Amino acid sequence: MQTSGHAQPRSRMWIIAIWLGVLLIILVSQFPRIQQILPTLGSKVSTFATVFLGIFIEAIPFLLLGTLGSGFVEAFLDQNQIQQLIPRRALPGALSGSLLGLIFPVCECGVVPLTRRLFNKGLPVAAGIAFLMAAPVLNPIVILATASAFGWGWMLAGRVGLSMLIAVTTGLLFSVVKRPAEIMRMAGIKTNSRMPTSEEQISPPRRSFRQKFNRMTVIAADEFFEMGRFLILGATLAAVMQALLPQQALLQIGRGPVISVLVMMALAVVLSICSTVDAFVVLGFVSIFSPGAILAFLIFGPMVDIKTTLMYLSVFKKRTVVYLILLPFLMSFLAGVLINLVIA
């Protein structure tokens, strides 16, 4: 019995040794090819790490700014103040919402949690959607960055004007929705306390400044970690796509008034660059792509990319997210093609 007991482990060891030997022979026979693959693999890993860290480091400060703004809205503003600030009618509300970025200078990462909090405070749907679309471009930081890259010319005017037009149009199309609860995933809202009643929202309990500030920081921390996971996932996906996708092939087919616009819009989604620096990145493509394609990149990228799509899905219902992607896509594409045809 003891002999057979020792024989079984020994037989397994022989089997493992044989497989290791076969594997070693395969590795030795394919060593020249492996030597060729390893540098390529190392290059792709390096590209992935560089892109991921670039996106993450760029976005984190603005995500923090957005969550702090969200906490400020929840702690310091009540429903009456929001209603006095933003008109209830669709067109004035959408116009006002598109300009809120001048007050809350957030990029596409920070605007999502801030919009959700504003909806909870009674912001009309048209105004909230317009703010969601326009704020990543219509804020002082991005306007100055675009002016630094392209000057105070038609490219800046086109980016600001068309972004506002698309945001207001999208907000008006959503104005048929009467309540934010119809488009939002309300279960995703997290606070450290119970939801206030309608009487408390209209006349909130009196709190000292210190209490309000503490509440603001707690809410901001909760939303920062909640949205941060989607930022990490989005940055990871964008980095993987940039490491594996042959971007040179995209650049080679990016000619003509139509294809060039589609290629640059796809590139904006893949790169997922923060709107505060995207103008400097796309400046390197000016000599390769048409003006309409460059402008479409600057318009569509801040509204829709990988990380913002994941954040949209965490806040809005799937059907709403489809519209939030499709409407800006169609209008940005049409604007880019028309500019190419007019300039040509």
pLDDT digits (tens), the chain, 344 positions = 444 555 555 556 666 666 666 665 665 555 556 445 555 666 777 778 887 887 777 777 777 877 787 788 778 877 677 777 788 899 999 999 999 888 877 778 788 988 988 898 888 999 999 999 999 999 888 888 888 888 899 999 999 999 999 999 999 999 999 889 999 986 444 443 344 444 444 444 577 888 888 988 888 888 788 777 777 876 787 777 667 766 666 666 666 889 989 989 998 998 887 887 788 778 777 877 889 999 999 999 999 998 899 999 999 999 999 999 999 999 999 999 999 998 76
pLDDT for position 196: 44
pLDDT for position 293: 93
Instruction: Name the residue ranges covered by the structural domains of the chain.
Output: 46-343
Say which amino acid occupies 342: V
Measured CA to CA, the distance from residue 155 to residue 291 in angstroms comes to 8
CA distances 291 to 33, 258, 266, 340, Å, are 43, 11, 16, 6
At 51 the three-state DSSP class reads: helix
pLDDT for position 297: 94
The crossing angle, in degrees rounded to 10, of helices 306-315 and 111-120 is 20
At 216 the three-state DSSP class reads: helix
pLDDT for position 154: 93
288 within 8 A of 328, measured Cβ to Cβ: no
HEC profile for 257-316?
A: CCHHHHHHHHHHHHHCCCCCCHHHHHHHHCCCCCHHHHHHHHHHHHHCCHHHHHHHHHHE
Q: Taking every pair of C-alpha atoms in the chain, what is the biggest distance, in angstroms? A: 91
DSSP bridge partners of 184: 316
Measured CA to CA, the distance from residue 44 to residue 42 in angstroms comes to 5
